[in-house]
Structure formats: C-alpha cells, structure tokens
Amino acid sequence: MSLRRVGILALKDLLYGSRSFLIIFVILMPLLMWLLVEMIFSGTSVPRLGIADEGNSQIPAIAATYESIELTEYASASALEQAVEVGNADAGIVIPAGFDAAAAAGTTNLTVYIWGESLASNRTILQSTVSTMIRQVAGQAAPVQIETVAIGEGESIPWSQRLAPFIVVMPIVMGGIYLTATAVVQEKERKTLNALVVTPASLTEVYFAKALLGFIFSLIMGIAILLLTSSLGNQPWLLILFMALGAVMAVELGLIFSSFVNNVNTLFATARLAQLIIFVPALFYMFPWFPQWVSRIFPSHYFVTPIMDISTSGATWADVSAEVFFLIGANVAIGLIAWQMIKRIKQFAA
Amino acid sequence: MNARIISALVIKDIVLIFRNKLFLLITVFGSIAYIAIYFVMPTTVDESLKIGLYSSSPVVPPVFQNLIDGGQEGVDVDKLDSDQALRDAVDEGTYIAGIALPADILTGDNPQINLYSRSDTPTEVSDSLAFMVSELAYVQSGQLPVTSQSVLGTDLIGKQIPMQDQMRTILPSILIIVQLFALATLISEEFEGRTVRAVLVSPANIVDFFMAKGVFGVGMAFGQGLIITAIIGGLATQAGIVILTLLLASLVITGIGFLCGAFSKDNMSAVSWSFVVMMLLLMPAMTALTPGVSNWVKIIPSYYFVDTLHRAMNFGMGWSDLWPSLLIMAAFAAAFTSLGVLALRKKVR
Amino acid sequence: MTDAIVAENLTYWYGDLVAVDHIDFNVASGEIFGFLGPNGAGKSTTVKMLTAQMKPKDGTATILGMDVTTKVRQIQSQIGVCFELPNMYEQMSAIENLKLFARLFNTKDFDGYDLLKRVDLAGRENERVENYSKGMRQRLMVARALVSKPKILFLDEPTSGLDPSSADGIRDIIRKESQRGATVFLTTHDMMEADELCDRVAFMDEGKLVALDTPHNLKLKYGRRALKAQVAGRGGELEEREVVMDRPDTPKAVEELFSSENVVTVHSEEATLGAIFMQITGRGLSG
C-alpha cells in the first residue's frame, strides 16, 4: 500500500467530494444537535423568577446567589407582569421603593405574581423562596436549623449532561459511518471507482483513503464537541484515545455498509441500522435505570461509556484500561469483516 | 396550465417517492413511531411534590399537620412511622424528599429538622425544599406570611396540559417538516437526472412542472399531517383552525422544499441541506411548548405551526384569537412559495 | 409543401462566445436531415433553439410554420426529442416511463409494448431503468421520442453506444418514420450513418454552417474519386497504386496501369463525408 497514493486519494475526496455533505452532516449537524440540546434543557430545570426593583432592595442580590432559581431582572413592573403572563417567568415580584425598611419593620406583604400555567409545586417553591429572601432582608432569625442529608451514592446529573454522550457520539457516527460510506457509494454511483482501480491505486488504497478522511473528521469534530460541552476533563489524551478507537469502529461499519449499497438513498436508509449500533449505549447512559447489561452487548458501549466516565467522573487509565483492549480487539474483528467485504466486491457498476 | 399534465406529473412523483427507501423509512416508520409515542405519553400531570414526613415529637406541629392533611397546594405529604422508613422511602424514590421533625420541634430553642433527599437529586431542588420547610417553620413560630399570590394569565391549576396533549400539537408539525426532505430530493433528482429537460420538451411547460411539484408537496405534507392529527384526536377542537394551520404549514414547507431543491447542486447536497433546514425548523417545534422560549425562535416559521395548534387544540382558542398567527403563517407561505418558485425557475432556465 | 423547419439568421451567444452565428437553413417535410459537426460547433445550441428549450438571441426559427418563441406548447406537442445523454426516470420501469410521456402528450391509442418491441426491448418492459445497460437506455430514449408519433423527430446521437445490430434497428426505425411522413433532424458523428440515412447534411463548425447539400453532391463537389489498385512488386510484395478519376488523362492512366503492372486487386474509392468535412474546415469531426 502506498501512503502517497492514499494521501492523494484522501485529498481528492476532501477537496472534490460532496462538500455540502461534509460541512452539513459532519460539522454542522453535531453542532446543531448540541445547540438544540442546550436550548431545550438549559434553564428549564429550575423555576424562573423575575424581579422588578423599583427601589434599591437587597433582594435581587440575594436572589442572584440562589442556585435553586433562574433570576431575570426587569426594568419595570409592567414588563415583569407581561413576562409572567406570557410565561417567560414562572413568577415575579415587584419590589417597591423602601421595601427593605418596611420588611425590617414587619409591615409588608409582597405579591408574588404567578404564571397561570406553572405547576402547583413550582408556585409553592417560588413563594417559599421569595419569603425566605424577604425574611433574610428583614433580619428575622430562622426558628429552625435545616440539615440537608443526602441518601444513597448516586450523583445528580443534569439533563444536558445526560445527553452529552449522544452529542459526543454524533460526530463519530456522522464522520465515521456516513462520510466514509457516502464517499464510497458516490464513487460507485458515478462509476468513477472503475476509473480509479485501473490506475496503480488499488481498491485497498481507495477504501483506506476514504476511511482516513472519515476517521480524521470524526475525531476532530468529536474533540470539538467535547470542548464545547466542557467535557475534556483531566485526561484529555485518554479521551482522545477512546474517541479515536470509536472513530475506527464507525469507519469500519461505514465501509461494511457501503459495500452492500449502490446509491445514496439506500445508504442513508440502511446506515441508520449502523447508527443504532453506535447510539444504543448512549441511550442507556442517558437513562441509568435501564438495565445496563443490554448496553454491553453493543461494541460501542466500550467507547461511549469510558468517554463519559472520563469526562464526567474523572475515570483514569486504571478504570478504563480493560475497555481499551476490548475495543482494539473489536476493531480488529470488525476490520477483518470489512476487509472481507471489500475483497468480495467484483462489480463496481451501480 | 393543464390539469391532465399536472396530474400525470403528480402521479409520477408519488410513484418515485414511494420507491425512495429513505423516504419510506422516514415517513412510514416515522408515522408509526409518532403514533406510538403519542399513546405512551402520560395523560396526566402530577403537579405536586411528593414528600414524606416523620415526626419524633408525638405532636406534629399544626403547620406540618396541615401539610399532611393536604392543606398546601403543590405538596403532597405522607406521614411515616419511623425515621428509617422515611429514609428508605426517599432512597427508593417514593418521595422527592423527607422531612424528619425532631422530638423538640415544638419546645426546643432552634431545633434541627433533617431534610432527606437522594444524592442524585439536583442541589437546586433540595435547596428549594429547604426554603419551603424554613418558611413553614417561620409560620409555625408565629411569624406572619410575608407574601401572597396573584395568578397572571389563564390559571391552569388542576387543568395542566398533559404531555400527551402537548404531543398532539408537536407530532403533526414534525411530520410535515420532515416532508421537506422528500420534495427537495425529488427536485434535485429531476435536475441531476436531466429528466426536467425531457419533461419540458413535451407539452408540459414550466408552470405545469411547478404546479405538479407544489400539488405533490402540499398534498403529501398536508395529507400525512391531517391523517396523523385525526388519529391522535387533534380534530376534536377547533377543527377548522387546525386544518387551516396544517395546510398553511404544508405550503410553507413546500416553498422551503423548492428552495432546498433549487439551491442543491446534486442529490447529496439536497439531502444534506434539507436535513439541516429540517433541524432548524424542528427547533421551535421542540421548544415551542417549553416555558420561556427565546424570542429569536419566533422568527422561524415552524414556531407558529406548533403554537397555533397548541392554542387551538389545548385552549380552544378561536379565529378571533388566532387570526394574527394564521396571518403570519399565510405570509410565510406566500413568501417561501414565491421564493421557491423563483429559485426553481431560474434553475430551469 | 411547407418546410418543416426554417431557420433564418439564427443566432445565440453565451457572453462573448457566439455559439450559433447567423445560420440559415430549411428542412423539408419528410426529409431526413443530418446535422454534423465537431463538439462545440453549436449543434446542441441550435437544436435547443429549434425545440424551444432556448430562445434565439437573434434571427428566427419556425417549426411547422410556428415561431419557436411564441408557440412553444404547440411546437412541443408535435415533436419528439431523443437527447444525447440518457434522462429517464431510473426508479420507474421502461413501460412506466413511456406511459408517463404518453399521458403528457395525450397520445391516443398508445401501445407502449409495441413501441418497446420496435426498439428491441420486448420482455424488459417492467424492469426499472436503473438496471438497464447503456445500449438499452439509448433504445428506450429513442422509443420515448416516438411516443407521440411526432411530426418532427430530433435525434441526438441515437445510435451512440449501440452494437451494430441494434444500431441497424434504430436506423430502420428512422427510415420508417421518414416513410410515415415524419421529418427527422439527426445529429450524429457517425459519417457512414449520415451518408446512409440522410437526404441532406449540414456541416456546422464554430457556430457557422459551412456546407449544406445532399451527401452525393457534397462528394461530387468536394470529393475525389480514385481507382485504387494493389500490384505485385518484383519480390512478390504488394504495392499500392492510385489513379485519380474524372481527369482527362484518366483512361490512359488506367490502360497503362493494367498493361505495365501485375494488378492483383482493384477497387474504386469515394470521398467520405469525414474527409470532405476535413477538407472544408481544415479539421476533423472529432474536434
């Protein structure tokens, strides 16, 4: 195999392949997914409180320190009320001038505006929270101490983090499976594969070039997504190792699927099966109460789970070394299958 | 414009799209999946926080007793017989938190209340509950309440819209949006395969060609959207508005499909661009029912599909309330359809 | 009889490039008219204007007496076009493709199976075009052009990619269409085909019409007839001899050849259209 020819072919695919597919599916799609997840899940896990401070109360400053609410300040009472009415805030308070002094004197009762569509539980929580802030401003001593006791050993994982494996795996799927497979299938569709194999370039080199392109892009985008989600953690090289091994697996699956299909539409339909193989462990990671042994059946479990453990729980080499060797073995096995599929291709015409 | 020619071209497109494996996968299995999703969604909304309570004191303070008796909206409190039972129940997930009142709750000077929560409960949730318990303690100690409530907007206490009803507005929107892919790829295949030229040297002219694509696009999107909506009971309220919304949504998507097909240089780029446009259109559909949706989402046309359907189906709003949204949708439909036709015309020429 | 096709001062340019440069020609009804020229000569652009796919930038063209710029639908209902590159609906079968176009043309008494039989695709009617070989697709293209029983057939390289037997079949169809009364506008690189089929041929080069006449007249005018002989040399090897015909000294040259040489074989040679084209333009048809 000539690396020079492989490089020439890979560069050809990069420069003259389906640029829009590359940009959209491999680069844009994972970013869009990340954005979508951020949009849906950020800021919706806590009740939203709006404050319009007409005086110079301490309450906004106190509220800003609370993690249990999402605070938004409004310039006027009417803006606040409108925000609450349309649901941009679950609740809101208008703090009149001189409120703090009145609260200290015990002569105030503040109205908490509640969004009609908010849940009863949220209303109770927000009203209690506001009451607590007022009592703090009023200097009222707490009649009890409250000791929060955590039971069990689990960790609180926000939804945006639960979805992180899904987002992290997407570039591996898009770059590894789709980019590689479409590069092959397009050559078949356009009959250019025939033209290539009557040159010194062998079929192996042609496929390897496409695999290389898919691998590089899936790795780059995987790392980019880890950076965007601040998930690189303390062991970036270990993470990159697993991303690389995952990318190899995805590329091999892409080669296997592309050997069966002759046009892009069929590829997109059938490659979804390959997607499932990769994504199922990510799904199980999102829902820890699912029976996790099912996830272990899928080879991608052995890179998805370590990636998440390393980035979120600080797992080290000692914790994940077994998965590395398993992955290497799995990649060799899948690679052999892919190699057999490529060797059996005798007819290049679509 | 020739009806016979247009019908021949529409029939041809229907045959072709149903032979497109990817389209079949997305549409047929997607439709089945959507219906399945709808029926597994919860049909009720649990508005209350489930909390357990154990009191070491033989007499439960009145404020907390009031909780047990159901006197506090949004909180559902059960009394347990032992601290261990409370801890176990919290650990199992039966309660989101457990309040353990000490023996000296009524007599002690600054007694300590234990608030149990699972370790995987978000901190903000346990903090909120601590505030609630603290406020109860203030009231118990004789302090007057310092806040009162005023509800703005339609009060849905006890009438919250369950997830299944919310899905009724989202699913048809998603199904219509996904048709964008079918139209974009059909158009790009005509250009890539040069069949558009073959058609245009027959008696079919460019108007027939566009009309056929438009009829096909709107028909497929609207037809599927309507069928799904009917199956999941979406026509039970304000059927006229719902049908019009689906039709306008279909027109918008058809126009966008024209644009995607016109700007794609081959089938691959049509698939790619239509996927990314679909993702953009799906964003408002996914977030439209999430409280506090950002205003920028409202410039994306599909926001109005879901919002209008939601207000018609779940709130029974009528023409007088919804005409602005319908007008906005009609404007989007006119704009995108015109742009799409212009773009295609330029590509044909 | 009204000419089927009339082009007067027909012109088209792409930016600074004049692709069709003020050409004039007529095609009589029922005629098989050959349109020859290298790639880039302007043949396709001319055909696109005649089939109302593009509007001329200057000049006029009429098809069956109708202006190509104003009577587009009327013209297109009377013509059949076979494109150079296949453009069938690949996911549809052959018969489905033909039925679609029959509906578009509103062809009465359309028999797709018979049409496919004529182009030697009998038995393959229900197969999807995506599974057809190149030759089969080409034959299907010809069949599609015939769906509406057109008055004028525009055929662009109809026998390209066909084996000799299939190509013969297509030429036979062309003759029969002409006998039916259809006018055939044939664009081809195959000189022998043009020579064999066409009543008249036009040579196009760099946007201009450089010759237009019957093949016979073109040969007479530009061609050179000769007598070619092989004679046995001293050592027994064969040598070539040539006597140009149609010269005053031709009889004497022929007599001298036969009397002084040991003639083994003799045959006459006519000019080919390809050679004539080269003579006129200074380059070959391959461009």
So what's the pLDDT on residue A149? Answer: 82
The residue of chain B nearest to residue A273, with distances taken between CA atoms, is B25
pLDDT tens string A311-343: 777 888 998 899 999 999 999 999 999 888 887
pLDDT tier, A348 (very low <50, low <70, confident <90, very high otherwise): very low
Judging contacts by C-beta atoms under 8 Å, the chain C residues touching residue B205 are 72-73
Q: Report H helices in C51-184.
A: 72-76, 94-105, 112-118, 134-146, 164-180
What is the percentage of chain A residues whose pLDDT exceeds 90? 17
Distance CA A312, CA B153 (A): 41
Assigned domain for B92 exists: yes
So what's the pLDDT on residue C287? 45
User: Which residues of B sit within 8 Å Cβ distance of C?
Assistant: 4-5, 8-9, 12, 15-16, 19-20, 193-195, 197-205
Q: How many domains is chain B partitioned into structurally?
A: 2
B-chain residue closest to C77, CA distance: B203
Q: Which of B140, B169, B193 is the last residue of a domain?
A: B140
pLDDT-derived band at A349 (thresholds 50, 70, 90) equals very low
H-run or E-run covering C202 = strand C200-205
Mean pLDDT throughout B276-282?
86
For residue A68, give the chain B residue with the closest CA: B124
The string over A71-96, giving b where at least 16 C-beta atoms fall within 10 Å of a residue's C-beta and e elsewhere, is bbebeebeebbbbbbebbbbbbbbbe
Distance CA B11, CA A342 (A): 39
Answer yes or no: do A103 and A204 share one domain.
no
Q: Which residue of C has its CA nearest to B198?
A: C87
What's the confidence (pLDDT) of residue A20?
Answer: 67
* Domain CATH number, residue A88: 3.40.1710.10
> Which percentage of chain B shows pLDDT scores above 70?
97
* In contact, C139 and C155? CB cutoff 8 Å: no
Chain A interface includes B66 (CB < 8 A): no
pLDDT of residue B118: 86
Kindly state whether residue B147 falls inside one of the protein's structural domains.
no
Question: By the 8 A CB rule, do B217 and B69 touch?
Answer: no
Q: What is the pLDDT of residue A346?
A: 47
For A213-226, the pLDDT digits (tens) are 889 988 888 888 88
Q: What angle do CA C217, C218, C219 make, to 5 degrees?
A: 90
Query: CB C260: neighbour CB atoms within 10 A?
Result: 9
Q: Of all residues in chain A, what percent carry a pLDDT higher than 70?
A: 87
Q: Is residue B191 part of a domain?
A: yes
d(CA B278, CA B273): 8
For A68-89, how does the pLDDT look when each residue is reduced to its tens digit (9 = 90+)?
A: 888 999 999 999 998 898 888 8
C77 touches C108 (CB < 8 A): no
Q: Which amino acid is at A139?
A: G
Chain B residues with beta carbon closer than 8 angstroms to that of A174: none
Percent of chain B with pLDDT over 90: 34
Gap between the Cα atoms of A120 and C8, Å rounded: 84
Q: Are residues B92 and B191 in the same domain?
A: no
Q: Is the dihedral of CA B260, B265, B271, B277 positive or negative?
A: negative
One-letter amino acid of C124: R
Same domain for B186 and B132, yes or no, is no
Candidate ranges A304-308, B28-32, C68-72, C106-110; pick with highest mean pLDDT? C68-72
Q: How many CB atoms are located within 10 Å of the residue A246 CB? A: 29
Residues whose CB falls within 8 Å of the CB of residue B57, separated by 6 or more in sequence, listed in order: B101, B102, B103, B104, B105, B106
Question: Are the C-beta atoms of B38 and B168 separated by less than 8 Å?
Answer: yes
Three-class DSSP category at B304: helix
Find the distance separating the first CA and the last CA of chain B, reported in whole Å. Answer: 18
Closest Cβ–Cβ partner in B47, B125, B276 for A119: B47
The strand pair at C200-205 and C226-232 is best described as unpaired
Query: pLDDT by residue (tens digit) across B101-137?
Result: 999 888 888 889 999 988 878 777 888 888 888 888 8
Q: What pLDDT, on a 0 to 100 scale, did the predictor assign at position B290? A: 63
Question: Residue B167 is encoded by which pair of tokens?
Answer: 């899905």
**What is the domain extent for residue A69?**
48-138
Both A163 and A70 in one domain: the answer is no
Q: Could you state, in order of their start, the residue ranges of all structural domains in chain C?
A: 5-219, 224-269
Residues A12 and A53 in one domain: no
Q: How far apart (Å, rounded) are the C-alpha atoms in residues A242 and A223?
A: 11
Residues of B in Cβ contact (< 8 Å) with A85: 152-153
Q: Which of B90, B111, B140 is the last residue of a domain?
A: B140
Q: How many CB atoms lie within 10 A of CB C15?
A: 6
Q: Are residues A188 and A223 in the same domain?
A: yes
Q: Let me know: does A136 contact B174? Beta carbons within 8 Å.
A: no
pLDDT digits (tens, 9 = 90+) for A12-47: 777 777 666 777 777 777 777 777 766 666 555 678
Write phi, then psi, for C146 (nearest 5 degrees): -95, -5
Alpha-carbon distance C155 to C215, whole Å?
19
Residue ranges in chain C whose pLDDT is less than 70: 1, 284-287
Of B5, B19, B20, the CB nearest to C104: B5
CATH code for residues C5-219: 3.40.50.300
Question: How many CB atoms are located within 10 Å of the residue B42 CB?
Answer: 11
Report how far apart the first and last C-alpha atoms of chain C are (Å, whole number): 36
Measuring CA to CA, which residue among C231, C227, C256 is closest to residue C244? C227
Contacts of C162 (CB under 8 A, 6+ apart): C135, C138, C139, C170
For residue B152, tell me if it sits in a domain: no
To the nearest whole Å, the CA of C142 is away from the closest chain B CA by 12
pLDDT band at residue B193 under the 50/70/90 scheme: confident
Cα–Cα nearest to A135, from B198, B131, B169, C74 = B131
Provide the CB-side half-sphere exposure for A349 (13 A, CA).
5
Same domain for B331 and B268, yes or no, is yes
> What is the rounded average pLDDT of the residues B271-283?
85
- Band of the pLDDT at A155, cuts 50, 70, 90? low
Measured CA to CA, the distance from residue C42 to residue A11 in angstroms comes to: 37
What backbone phi and psi angles, to 5 degrees, belong to A46? -125, 155
Phi, psi of B151 (to 5 degrees): -90, 130
pLDDT at residue A350, as a whole number: 35
Domain boundary, last residue among B111, B140, B169 = B140
| B44 in contact with chain A, both atoms CB, cutoff 8 A | no
- Spatial distance between the Cα atoms of A243 and A226, rounded to a whole number of angstroms: 10
pLDDT at B143: 80
Exposure on the CB side of residue C277, measured as CA atoms within 13 A: 26
Does the residue A184 lie in any domain?
yes
Given this model, what pLDDT does residue B23 score?
Answer: 74
| Highest-pLDDT range among A137-141, A156-160, B4-8 | B4-8
What was the pLDDT predicted at B124?
78
- The answer to whether the beta carbons of residues A166 and A282 sit under 8 Å apart is yes
B149 assigned to some structural domain: no
**B263 found inside a domain:** yes
- Judge whether A325 lies within some domain: yes
Contacts of C72 in chain B (CB under 8 A): 205
Q: Is residue B185 part of a domain?
A: yes
Same domain, residue pair A227 and A338? yes
Co-location of A202 and A286 in the same domain = yes
Length of chain C: 287
Tell me, yes or no, whether A163 and A251 share the same domain: yes
